[in-house]
Amino acid sequence: MRTNVIAYRLFDVADEINLDQVQALWHSRNKISSRLRLDRISTKSITFHDPPVLVELGFHEMTIGGVEYLVEVKARIQDLGVICILFNIPPEEDITYQEYLNLVLAVEDLPDEEFRRFLDATMETIGPACTNPNISGFDEDFVVYYFQDPIPADWDIVPFLLKDPNPVNEETRESALANHFSYAEDEAWLAWDSAVVYDPTGIMDIPDLLEFANAQYLELRYYDNFLNHAIDKTYDVIEDKENMKDMDVLRNIRDELLETMADVSSLTSNITNSLLVTEDIFYAKVYTRYMKLLKASVWQENIELKMQVLQRCYNMLNETVSSHHLEQMRKYNITLLAIIAVILLGTAIFK
């Protein structure tokens, strides 16, 4: 049976990545790269604003769950500032159900260091293409169990989706299998951090689409957290009475807020506009359902609410600074008028 377990680990590594520069840097080392495109449909059906770059990192022997595998390692680089490290793990064709389930559970326990060493190697090459490079600590992982041959009828895929070998009740089973899609001979079952895909053609469109959605989700989480820190910092300044008397401090924090709001607005707009589904209803359904499983809309709403909080803080600070400026101008004008009056009075007296 032809099947692969594909483990994905996504990392936030920069504000943005110049993908044209990535390819130039990669090719300068005589290495191969390619841009993402979905094979089954017209390129007009789904539009990537800037298709991610896939680079090959070779085959590596790894021990997973006590079994030796020759794992194909790749990295997918996205302009959003995300790098995804992929481990394509090929089981033996005569693998049993229990052996496959053991592999499912072992992949879940893969140490972070296994992915990090390939991330570091990738960053070493493409670093100059990154804007504000920084591995933030935000990451995301998911797994695709990919079958080119029909899944045996006596194989229960629910433990794969749940990554749990224990029996479940009927309600949990129905919930796990609810997100099921099929276009022709192919089938896909989605969970929030895993998917089972059967496609006799070997086309990777569904896994690629899920990977891209995970990158968008990761960036939404990152900017939600970024705004939390911006709000906390602003509140700390506002709550300090001494700071409220120091116009230089208030001007600085006001200007920082304006810059933060502009940056986040631009970058989150890039996230939401990075993929446009225009014609293909099937892929639109898969993508929309998966984003719903990730609760991406909740994170988007959180970001919008926090941007509104920052806007209110900015308005208050701007009003305070402007009022202080007007008061200073009023005092300056009064002083100036007084000086002019004294000069005029003196001139009149000494005539």
- The helix/strand/coil state of 350 is coil
Please identify, among 180, 202, 224, the residue that sits at the C-terminal boundary of a domain: 202
Helix 205-239 × helix 247-272 angle, to 10°:
170
Statement to judge: residues 67 and 171 lie in one domain? yes
CA distance 30 to 255: 45
Statement to judge: residues 179 and 318 lie in one domain? no
CA distance 197 to 188: 4
CA-based nearest residue to 140, from 232, 249, 221, 206: 221
Q: Output DSSP code: residue 149.
A: S
Supply the pLDDT for residue 340. Answer: 66
Supply the pLDDT for residue 159. Answer: 98
Helix 205-239 × helix 281-293 angle, to 10°:
40
CA-based nearest residue to 237, from 225, 226, 259, 252: 252
Residues of the chain with pLDDT > 70, as a percent, come to 86
Please identify, among 156, 185, 202, the residue that sits at the C-terminal boundary of a domain: 202
Statement to judge: residues 197 and 119 lie in one domain? yes
CA distance 228 to 226: 5
Statement to judge: residues 159 and 304 lie in one domain? no
Check: CB of residue 200 under 8 Å from CB of residue 146.
Answer: no
- The helix/strand/coil state of 178 is coil
Please identify, among 138, 173, 202, the residue that sits at the C-terminal boundary of a domain: 202
Structural domain span for residue 248: 211-342
Statement to judge: residues 303 and 186 lie in one domain? no
Statement to judge: residues 321 and 215 lie in one domain? yes
Is 351 among the domain residues? no
Is 347 among the domain residues? no
Report residue 341 as tokens: 């009056």
Side-by-side strand order, sheet with 180-181: 33-35, 53-64, 67-78, 82-89, 3-12, 139-147, 194-198, 187-191, 180-181
Check: CB of residue 178 under 8 Å from CB of residue 30.
Answer: no
Statement to judge: residues 154 and 280 lie in one domain? no
Is 182 among the domain residues? yes
Statement to judge: residues 278 and 296 lie in one domain? yes
CA distance 310 to 205: 39
Burial of 95 (0-12, 13-18, 19+ CB in 10 A): middle
Write out residues in the chain with pLDDT < 50, as ranges.
Answer: none
CA distance 58 to 69: 13
Statement to judge: residues 167 and 217 lie in one domain? no
pTM more than 0.95: no
Based on the structure, what is the number of domains in the chain?
Answer: 2
Statement to judge: residues 191 and 233 lie in one domain? no
